Amino acid sequence: MPAMEPSAVPEPSPLPERVALRRHFLMCRPEHFAVTYAINPWMDPAAGADAGRAVAQWEALRAAYLALGHEVSLIDPVEGLPDMVFAANGALVVGGRVYGARFAFPERYAEGPAYARWLRDNGFTDVLEPQHTNEGEGDFLTLDDVILAGTGFRTDIAAHQEAQEFLGRPVVTLRLVDPRFYHLDTALFPLGGRDVAYYPGAFSPGSRAVLERLFPDAVVAGERDAAVLGLNAVCDGRNVVVNAEATGLIGALAERGYTPVPVDLSELRKAGGGPKCCTLELRPAP
């Protein structure tokens, strides 16, 4: 018999080229950061937090953005608002239009007007003061063609409809069911505008099915990485600024051709925040 040809080993598919897009972020230095009340499971007033260490970690996050070529604007912190560092909650900015925040808890209520005032003063004149409770980019995450919107703990479903009417973008509702992941941005983040990474255990069965249908190639994170707020990350299309402790997620992102940029925000995590919580994206008009 003739010798059999050795089986051909298929070449691995090349990774898609990831392209970084320059972003404009708004941040707030945590000069007044403290854990003096508990409005989510991460917060323990008895344990407190080290404000100086929080500032140093925040400065490193800001430096990482600048090193990647992004623009960072700053809003002045307000004494008495220790969570104002979590700029993502202050608004949703899409196409130069601002859908303002209306916080669920009285401890944070004044943050909404403070962020709306800064945005008006800095050229964003089309600002909607919302009628319904919502916490900005904490529960609204913008992709190229759709906005994903969380509900279950902080943001009313009626706010999803209000945002869709104002912004003219389709909004997809996702229900959160685990109180550790009280905002959508603690359980999911966009990758490259058309895909996402997420932790399935944070969502209701129906919402998991929606995510599986919309994003069949998503990066699916495990509980260990989710439990260190690894999914509270920021991607510019190629680089992913992510909590350093989320080692499994970091490896999965690298395998997909992304460049992880690990940061340490362990002090801010004592209030339930990570890189994305500290970062409000200012998307200009087309």
Residues with a known catalytic role: 183, 277
Alpha-carbon distance of 246 to 284, in angstroms, equals 31
* Residue 37 contacts residue 246 (beta carbons within 8 Å): no
Helix (H, G, I), strand (E, B) or coil at 91: strand
Q: Any idea which residue has 């007033």 for tokens?
A: 45
H helices, E strands: number in the chain: 6, 15
Alpha-carbon distance of 100 to 286, in angstroms, equals 20
Question: Which residues share a beta bridge with 88?
Answer: none
Backbone angles phi, psi at 163, to 5 degrees: -65, -40
Alpha-carbon distance of 130 to 153, in angstroms, equals 18
Alpha-carbon distance of 205 to 223, in angstroms, equals 16
Backbone angles phi, psi at 256, to 5 degrees: -90, 0
Token pair listed for 60: 């490193």
* H or E segment and range at residue 66: helix 51-67
